[in-house]
Chain A
């Protein structure tokens, strides 16, 4: 064979060998049954400058001129997860110890935005499934040459239902990397939460509602809705799992989550809390859509401003002086309007229309009932909130059990309107009956209409009650006047048969809204069971139609069983 041909043949062989074994920056995979681990690296050189570090652990430091960008890449079997820096009720984040043939600075392990996983017994874990790359930044001392090879001693915990701790020793040739691994690392670096100031228009706030023995931290995010909010451990405090009160994911509505806090030791809560938080799924926050921040809250006395965009944090004590309700700076007139809107909530609207249908000429005395309804609503809420606050009891209207309990009068009204054809609350209904019914039927909607975290005061409730009472007085006054001009009793009586079933759809809509509010707070299986309990009550009511006492007893038994099941399922 000629020299030129031999040379060409050798070149082809060399090219094939190179293609089959490309220079890799990544370490080889360390394979286990349920997880595999390796190190990946980005090209050596100045890292992209980032904002100054803030919040939960200084994740995004200002990148040094010479900094190694590495990543711990984990690939997990289906159903298994590894952990975030704050793993939740159980679990452990990874630990990495680096060594090299040249001096290295301390490595910084960064954590992308996590997901939340439900475990048995109501426990939760925060972490990652499928695959994750934990970015790792290593600063090179000034003047130091980068190491040719770097070794990482890695400990991490992977769990499904069982947990398995793993240890791997991974080595990587620094300075050689493929575009694929560099891109992978960049994608996961982008998922590390940004400081909240990097997301224009997002305002974070916090308010404390509780007492020295414990309570709830209410974190509000205005300007975006978050998919989830995570709270870091707080020294001296037991941090419960966040519960969403407002702002369904993707709705665009402001997010409000409630985090139960108790002192870690018997005694008082720390007077000042510094709470680090991460919100995920924030549109416009960058590729990873996560932001983080720190909020300071006083558990006694005025609250300092929040850290985001100069917006003031809710200040319960101050708001009482100003007469505002829970971080809301609306005036009395707007609150009157909100009170009037309470009468338009489905359950209360059904009761109002029934009252209007029963109102007749000369029903002036019965108009006291709606006024009593408004005042009873105010008294009920104010009494529970104001007198209970000193005992550390706060009106948890958005708590699952409270919502499930408030669903029961909605359910009862729905079934009564659909199956019995008669509510039993007619002209003979006493004023207190209308007042209590209206109060129970409007309570589930109250937080949404009040529009902010509760921090109720008498000054806030009175205009709400006045608006509610005024709307009822106007509606019933108009109805009474119209009935006074009606052709006669016969026409009114003919309207009744279709009115009751039609009105039944209004409290039924209330039940659907309550399900929507319960959805983020309850496991889906329990929510489904709750709906089955309501359906069972409806079936019992349908079967119990008629005048037979046995059938009625069955209905009552089913109703009580449904009520008990609802409260148990919403625990």
Chain B
């Protein structure tokens, strides 16, 4: 390869490095857009692909058993009661805690936690955080409701009571499922999630 060719390739490479910097990052998943597909293993080792749930409503719940907010909802059965009341909906919990973090729960401990709190739905391990980042999950808990066509219809918090002090709470996930079943858009369709930060790597 001649020196001229090498120089030209080097120049082209330098220009090519500029191109990614000139484009905006791809938009994160948001209400109204297609839910990013993923393939993750649950705490029992079984693989789950979002695309395989096409035709069913899917609820994604970001959890961290060591987060007081996530644990409070597990103890109060907020989502487990809703899951039982909506058996046609596919419930998937996602744990994006990095493997080296002290909050990371190995499969056996997660199974024990699930059993203690009656969590009958799979908990998917997302230790490298790719799925969490794809959905812009920043807190635990963080909820996403996806319709049968794979479109996000709700994104945000579980309810309007971060500190758990209200005698009556508005459960946004329940409201979104009700609205979708009635053929209406969720209102609100997006809320500010609350909780602990996701323990990404």
- Closest A residue to B136 by beta carbon equals A238
Task: Determine the main DSSP class of B at the interface with A.
Answer: loop
**Are B201 and A120 neighbours in the complex by a CB distance under 8 Å?**
yes
**In the assembled complex, how far is the CB of residue A26 from the closest CB belonging to chain B, in whole angstroms?**
24
Number of A-B contacts (CB under 8 A): 128
**Are A233 and B192 neighbours in the complex by a CB distance under 8 Å?**
yes
User: Which of A125, A262, A265, A399 is within 8 Å of B197, CB to CB?
Assistant: A125
Q: Which of B27, B32, B197 has the most CB of A within 10 A?
A: B197
Residues of A within 8 A of B20 (CB): 401, 405, 567
**Are A121 and B200 neighbours in the complex by a CB distance under 8 Å?**
yes
Residues of A within 8 A of B21 (CB): 396, 399, 401-402, 404-405, 567
**Are B32 and A262 neighbours in the complex by a CB distance under 8 Å?**
no
B139 at the interface (CB under 8 A from A): yes
CA distance A484 to B201 in the complex (A): 63
A115 at the interface (CB under 8 A from B): no
**In the assembled complex, how far is the CB of residue A336 from the closest CB belonging to chain B, in whole angstroms?**
26
**In the assembled complex, how far is the CB of residue B35 from the closest CB belonging to chain A, in whole angstroms?**
11
**Are A92 and B162 neighbours in the complex by a CB distance under 8 Å?**
yes
Known: A265-B190, A384-B22, A396-B22. A164 touches B68 (CB 8 A): yes
**Are B200 and A123 neighbours in the complex by a CB distance under 8 Å?**
yes
**Are B198 and A121 neighbours in the complex by a CB distance under 8 Å?**
yes
**Are A123 and B22 neighbours in the complex by a CB distance under 8 Å?**
no
**Are B22 and A395 neighbours in the complex by a CB distance under 8 Å?**
yes
User: Which of B68, B129, B139, B155 is within 8 Å of A165, CB to CB?
Assistant: B68
A264 at the interface (CB under 8 A from B): yes
How does the 8 Å CB contact mask read for A118-160 relative to B, with 1 for contact and 0 for none? Answer: 0111110100000000000000000000000000000100010
**In the assembled complex, how far is the CB of residue B78 from the closest CB belonging to chain A, in whole angstroms?**
16
B31 at the interface (CB under 8 A from A): yes
CA distance A264 to B154 in the complex (A): 11
How does the 8 Å CB contact mask read for B94-118 relative to A, with 1 for contact and 0 for none? Answer: 0000100111000000000000000
How does the 8 Å CB contact mask read for A314-328 relative to B, with 1 for contact and 0 for none? Answer: 000000000000000
Interface extent on A, as a size class? 35 or more
**Are B7 and A92 neighbours in the complex by a CB distance under 8 Å?**
no
CA distance A433 to B132 in the complex (A): 44
**Are B66 and A162 neighbours in the complex by a CB distance under 8 Å?**
yes
Known: A162-B196, A233-B192, A433-B11. A214 touches B18 (CB 8 A): no
Residue numbers of A with Cβ under 8 A of B are 89-92, 95, 119-123, 125, 155, 159, 161-165, 167, 213-215, 233, 238, 262-267, 384, 388, 392-396, 399, 401-402, 404-406, 408-409, 412, 424, 433, 436, 440, 560, 563, 567
Report 24 cross-chain contacts, Cβ distance below 8 Å, ordered by A residue: A90-B195, A90-B197, A120-B98, A120-B197, A121-B133, A121-B197, A163-B195, A167-B163, A214-B24, A215-B24, A238-B30, A262-B27, A263-B30, A264-B30, A264-B31, A265-B189, A384-B22, A396-B21, A404-B21, A405-B21, A433-B7, A436-B11, A560-B13, A567-B17
Which 10 residue pairs are nearest across A and B when measured between Cβ atoms?
Answer: A121-B200, A266-B32, A90-B197, A402-B21, A266-B33, A265-B31, A163-B196, A155-B163, A89-B138, A401-B21
